[in-house]
Chain A
Amino acid sequence: EVQLVESGGGLVQPGGSLRLSCEVSGFTLGSYWMHWVRQPPGKGLVWVSRINSDGSSTSYADSVKGRFTISRDNAKNTLYLQMNSLRAEDTAVYYCGRLDVPCGGDCWGQGTLVTVSS
């Protein structure tokens, strides 16, 4: 069974840092490019970042460039999102997943909530 399980969310003060994890099972992480998207409370989905299969290439939305870093450990079947210099507008549910491929199961995880507030 394909599963993607995000963790690491929580309450953090403005300017703080968090690292999100996405542990996958049921498929070979190293075979796929992976993505993070987010959804602010009551709003739509926003694409955040992507990483290629071996981690050698990454891309970011302008809103997080220079503050967020996507990475992966294929041996541990885990994707990461390091978030620094967090702002109130980063408050959202963060989802990890696969885009534009047949997923053979869930493409997206259930999400983890990040709240940036003092």
Chain B
Amino acid sequence: QTVVTQEPSVTVSPGGTVTLTCASSTGTVTDGNYANWLQQKPGQAPRALIYSTTNRHSWTPARISGSLLGGKATLTLSGVQPEDEAEYYCLLYYGRLQPWVFGGGTKLTVL
């Protein structure tokens, strides 16, 4: 059973920078895991932010970026704004038979 691990909660000050991480129980996260990041606010559907590790969707602001660092997938938010307060989920790809596994989500608080 593959497990994807995220920080349960992170707090950041307005205007600050924060990096959320996404680790795999199978080892190093690579480009072949095609990390996706989704944002979800209370009572709303998830909204995709990043696909294939680093690619922004057309609505994703440039201050939000995805990368690989230290064996993990990361999501960095710069110049954090109050509206960034949300739950952030990463999703990793593991192959044809059971392709995708979500992390447990990180609750980002802007305070």
- One digit per residue, 1 when the CB lies within 8 angstroms of any chain B CB and 0 when it does not, for chain A 39-80 equals 000001111001000000101111000000000000000000
The answer to whether A47 and B45 touch across the interface, beta carbons within 8 angstroms, is no
Residues of A within 8 Å of B97, CB to CB, are 59
The answer to whether A107 and B48 touch across the interface, beta carbons within 8 angstroms, is yes
Q: How many residues of A contact B (CB 8 A)?
A: 26
The answer to whether B45 and A100 touch across the interface, beta carbons within 8 angstroms, is no
Q: How many residues of B contact A (CB 8 A)?
A: 28
Residues of B within 8 Å of A109, CB to CB, are 45
Asked if B81 is an interface residue, CB under 8 A from chain A, the answer is: no
Number of A-B contacts (CB under 8 A): 66
The answer to whether B36 and A99 touch across the interface, beta carbons within 8 angstroms, is yes
A61, B99: Cα distance in complex, Å: 8
The answer to whether A61 and B98 touch across the interface, beta carbons within 8 angstroms, is yes
Residues of A within 8 Å of B105, CB to CB, are 44-45
Q: List 12 A-B contacts (CB under 8 A).
A: A44-B87, A44-B103, A45-B89, A46-B102, A50-B99, A59-B99, A60-B98, A97-B48, A99-B100, A100-B52, A103-B48, A108-B38
Q: Enumerate chain A interface residues (CB-CB to B < 8 A).
A: 35, 37, 44-47, 50, 57, 59-62, 95, 97, 99-104, 106-111
